[in-house]
Structure 1
Amino acid sequence: MEGTEPAIAILVPCYNEAAAIQAVIQGFRTQLPSAAIYVYDNNSTDDTARLAKEAGAVVRREARQGKGHVIRRMFADIEADIYIMVDGDNTYDPSSAPALVAALRAGPLDLVNGVRVADGETAYRPGHRFGNRMLTRLVTRFFGSSSRDMLSGYKAMSRRFVKTFPALSTGFEIETELLVHALEMSLPLGEIETFYRERPAGSQSKLRTVQDGMRILKLIAKLVKEERPLLFFSLVAGILALLSLAAATPVVLEYLELGSVKRLPTAVLATGLMLSAIIAFFSGMILDTVTRGRRELKRLHYLRYAPVR
């Protein structure tokens, strides 16, 4: 109904955050008193779940390890009009939550990303900053993103976004999938800056810079193949065609000089590579049509939900 305050759910995925979880819950309860706070414990070996429950959060458990599994479960289980996703390590500023909600409602938008502004020199490690910039630019190159902080774990989302997001990732690459889904669906997006502080004493980062960076790169490649198949297979076709021409050049020169082909295996290889290039190109054309149909179906499903008010 017009004028009714939206139901807000704060989603906090957690793994061994006993040192920070109560501060997170108290901070968001102060900023958004009417919001329901859900803490999903991902097999913690400390007192995270107990402390979260004592602080008044709704505590649930996801047995499959990985942030992607937790987010998928949250999106499936929780009903709300506005969802705020935030890590449970107390590095994100709860005072930005009302601004995230206001931006989402004012648009109305489907996704508002919290762009991290480091509150201190050691809050945002240089390696993470560089990797985030590189991966964000890569997504921009293929999907047209204008995001300044693709890997931020602080976001506000509408119900229509959450309930139409397929959530296929299993780990920290879920943030990349969230952004690419929004870009592919041409959904209205926004960003606001928010302070990002150091972890509290006793809290350790679960992010593995190299391993998780490689997983994100693999996901980007997979998403390009699935969401931009004509581009992906055209690139494959181009590489195969160049290899074919490189292999065929000495064979052609030999034929022009001697009138015969003595390098038959090389000629067969060049022919096979060119045929593979042709097959790859037409596969991309066919899959591009299939992808367009999938995108139309996802759009129709998205339109079943009312925009956030």
Structure 2
Amino acid sequence: MALDDVCVLIPTFNEAPTIGSVVDGFIDQGYTNVLVIDGGSTDDTQAVAAAHGARVIEQRRSGKGQAVREGLEYIDTEYIVLVDGDSTYDPADADQLLEPLFEGRADHVIGNRLVQLDDEAMSRLNRFGNQLINSAFTMIHGRDFGDILSGYRAFARDSLDQLQLSADGFTIETELAVASVKHQIPTAVVPIEYTPRPSESETNLDPIRDGGRIIHALYSMARRNNPLFYFGSVGGLSILFGISIGAFVGYDWFIHHVSHEALAVVSAFAILLGVQLFMFGVLSDMVIAVNREHTRQVQALATQLQEESSDTTEETSETPEGTQTIDAGN
């Protein structure tokens, strides 16, 4: 494993009590290229990180997602390890995160915290939220990544350049997972250790507020990745609502001989709207499937042309010096 080809990227905000030990941990493991992207901490995070041997850059704008995007501007290595600065992740696990990348089995590796989770590392509310979000991701996007909210990941730099990230805050992990499915990035999952956050360090994550944002982001991203679910779910609810209203109208008409013309119109409209949304989802899904197949074919053709060009270059370089083409007519 060529650790010189790896940059450890650590987004931070007020992590002074822990960032020093995190940087030391990676340097002790042989990862000397450590980049801290700080979101304008009001404590000594930047000074502590620099004193322990990290490069420190202050973000132009706040947010973890913004930190990841800005960090890429300062990284020129082939591989990137992304990790939180709160000392809940073990630097020794970086080797197994990078192994699938070095072996060519994946371009994106997610560290699964939930396999070896310390009993005190995560509250019951957070565990339930993680399970709910992971189940929603699997249902909506059709892949089981085990722990899409993990803050410990490794990437091949080229794969990150394909993703076109836009999330600013804690939804960045969700966007990374969804974008990997959308762009068919080979993704592996490895178990990692997750330990309790040190008592002197305060979390920047609000379980309710940020959990709601993540669920909303999951559903919103389905519009471009799984439109059948996105439009079909709304259409299904509309049809169910229309049928419920229609059942009430029918019951009142046959039992009490009371007519509800307005409700009947609402029922019919809801059912028609639901059917139209469902059909729109089916058509959108077909369009996306065709587009993905065309993209796959173009990428395969580009790879083939690149290989042929490389072979031609090698053959040209092997031609003996001094060889001349002789015109038979002269």
Give the TM-score band, short-chain normalised.
0.7 to 0.9
* Equivalent position amino acid for 2:33 in 1: A
Q: What secondary structure is seen at the aligned counterpart in 2 of 1:164?
A: helix
| Residue in structure 1 matching 2:277, options 272, 280, 293 | 280
1:229 aligns with 2:227: yes
After superposition, give the CA deviation of every residue in 1:95-122 in whole Å (9 maximum; x if it has no partner): 1112222222124311111222667542
Query: 1:256 offset after TM fit, Å?
Result: 8.0
In the other structure, the counterpart of 2:193 is: 195
1:238 aligns with 2:214: no
Q: Distance in 2 between matches of 1:81 and 1:232?
A: 36
In the other structure, the counterpart of 1:205 is: 203
1:109 aligns with 2:96: no
Structure-2-length-normalised TM-score: 0.80
Q: Distance in 1 between matches of 2:199 and 2:243?
A: 60
1:147 aligns with 2:145: yes
Q: Aligned runs of 1:35-184 on 2, under 5 Å?
A: 35-116=32-113, 120-184=118-182
Q: Contact 2:19 / 2:87 at 8 angstroms: preserved in 1?
A: yes
Query: 1:298 offset after TM fit, Å?
Result: 7.0
After superposition, give the CA deviation of every residue in 1:29-81 in whole Å (9 maximum; x if it has no partner): 12134x42110010100111112122221111114222112112223442221
| Residue in structure 2 matching 1:247, options 227, 245, 263 | 245
Q: Distance in 1 between matches of 2:200 and 2:134?
A: 30
Q: What secondary structure is seen at the aligned counterpart in 2 of 1:92?
A: coil
Q: Distance in 2 between matches of 1:298 and 1:45?
A: 46
Structure 1 pair 251–213 and aligned structure 2 pair: CA distance change class (3 A): closer
**Structure 1, unpaired ranges of 5+:** none
Structure 1 pair 152–300 and aligned structure 2 pair: CA distance change class (3 A): farther
Structure of higher CA gyration radius: 2
Q: Distance in 2 between matches of 1:253 and 1:27?
A: 70
Q: Contact 2:141 / 2:225 at 8 angstroms: preserved in 1?
A: no
RMSD across aligned positions (CA): 3.1
Q: Contact 2:11 / 2:37 at 8 angstroms: preserved in 1?
A: yes
* Identity between Structure 1 and Structure 2 (%): 31
Larger mean Cα displacement after TM superposition, 87-96 or 291-300: 291-300
Q: Contact 1:66 / 1:172 at 8 angstroms: preserved in 2?
A: yes
Q: Distance in 1 between matches of 2:56 and 2:298?
A: 30
Larger mean Cα displacement after TM superposition, 78-87 or 164-173: 164-173
* Equivalent position amino acid for 2:132 in 1: M
Structure 1 pair 143–149 and aligned structure 2 pair: CA distance change class (3 A): same
| Larger relative contact order (CA 8 Å, sep ≥ 6) | 1
Q: What secondary structure is seen at the aligned counterpart in 2 of 1:156?
A: strand
Q: What secondary structure is seen at the aligned counterpart in 2 of 1:146?
A: coil
Q: Distance in 1 between matches of 2:146 and 2:251?
A: 52
Q: Contact 1:19 / 1:201 at 8 angstroms: preserved in 2?
A: no
Q: Distance in 1 between matches of 2:234 and 2:23?
A: 49
In the other structure, the counterpart of 2:266 is: 269
**Structure 2, unpaired ranges of 5+:** 307-330
Q: Which runs of 4+ in 1 moved over 6 A?
A: 3-6, 253-258, 300-306
Structure 1 pair 5–211 and aligned structure 2 pair: CA distance change class (3 A): closer
Structure-1-length-normalised TM-score: 0.85
Q: What secondary structure is seen at the aligned counterpart in 1 of 2:16?
A: coil
